[in-house]
Amino acid sequence: MSTTEFLFRLIAALIAGLIIGFERQWHHKETGLTTNMLVATGAAAFVLLSIKVSAVNSNIDVTRITAQVVMGVGFLGAGVIFREGPNVHGLNSAATLWCSAAIGCIAASGYFIEALVCTLLVAIVNTVLEPVDQWLRNRK
DSSP 40-108: HHHHHHHHHHHHHHHHH-TTS-THHHHHHHHHHHHHHHHTT-EEETTEEE-HHHHHHHHHHHHHHHHHH
Q: At residue 83, does pLDDT exceed 90?
A: no
> Does 140 reside within a domain?
no
- For position 109, what pLDDT does the model report? 95
* Alpha carbon distance 56, 60 (integer Å): 9
* Alpha carbon distance 109, 101 (integer Å): 12
Q: What are phi and psi of 87, to 5 degrees?
A: -95, 145
> Does 79 reside within a domain?
yes
> Does 139 reside within a domain?
no
- For position 85, what pLDDT does the model report? 81
How many domains are contained in the chain? 1
- For position 21, what pLDDT does the model report? 95
How long a stretch of residues is the chain? 140
Residue 63: domain span = 3-134
> Does 8 reside within a domain?
yes
